[in-house]
Amino acid sequence: MAGHSKWANIQHRKGRQDAARSKLFSKLSKEITVAAKMGDPDPDKNPRLRLAVKEAKSNSVPKDVIERAIKKSQAGEGDEYEEIRYEGYGPNGVAVIVEAMTDNRNRTASNVRSTFGKNGGNLGETGSVGFMFERKGEVVYDATVGDADTVMMAAIEAGAEDVESSDDGHVIYCADTDLAEVSTALEAELGESESTKLVWKPVTTTELDLEGLQKLMKLIDALEDDDDVQRVTTNFEASDEVMEAL
């Protein structure tokens, strides 16, 4: 699996602390509020909101928190947020994309730049690493939904582009513009997914040893601690031995 998928697995294995879970809920709620503000407050009529709600549910965000986030958009909240993407290099030349949602562009840029600098990285210009990734839709299913052939057939029928199956589960990729349609078709065939979202999928990867991965983890942890940062994606690759030793 590519870097960002492995990173998701690392997070899952580490287990999330209460503080981190609270921060995650906050970030998912912010996405729901902004998605509802930009379109219709009814998820059935707003694909971005539907995906945001689905992602929140897959992370066990309570229903009342989701409903409150949608209501905030109708009360005028969410107007001040703008979405910004930062690109740079982490330790050992690993490409890093940081997606942020902020009401103060200067504060966020300063914090992200400082975090890169303190953790062996370097913030670059927009486009400096973006060419190493493709924007894709990603749908993740647990291994128990079926074997690789079953999932592959369901993915082909749904209009997906690629499937990566392993003991950990199945990761299905599609064109970014097809995500809502593909995920709905997959749900009819395989049931509720573990995760459905837009991702940056690495086209090229950078291999890391244990020391390199530990340094990268410090940078990612520091970036994700920032309340303005919604998601961090990297293009690292590591062997199973390195992953296990982490």
Pairing assessment for the beta strands 236-237 and 169-175 based on DSSP bridges:
unpaired
Over residues 204-225, the mean pLDDT reads 90
State yes or no: pLDDT of 94 exceeds 90.
Answer: yes
Closest CA to 112 of 85, 81, 132, 93: 85
pLDDT attached to residue 19: 58
pLDDT at 36: 84
Query: Does 198 have pLDDT greater than 50?
Result: yes
Strand order in the sheet with 133-142: 162-166, 169-175, 133-142, 195-202
- Which residue reads 């998820």 in tokens? 43
Rounded average pLDDT over 200-220: 90
Radius of gyration of the chain (CA): 18
Mean pLDDT, the chain, as a whole number? 84
Per-residue pLDDT at 216 exceeds 80: yes
Per-residue pLDDT at 219 exceeds 90: yes
Span between the terminal Cα atoms of the chain, in Å: 17
* For residues 196-222, average pLDDT: 89
Tens digit of pLDDT for each residue in 34-74?
Answer: 888 877 788 777 778 888 888 888 788 888 888 888 888 87
Q: What's residue 77's pLDDT? A: 63
Are 74 and 49 in contact, with CB atoms under 8 Å apart?
no
Average of pLDDT values for 165-172? Answer: 89
Span 136-160, average pLDDT: 92
Give the integer Cα–Cα distance in Å for 40 and 46: 5
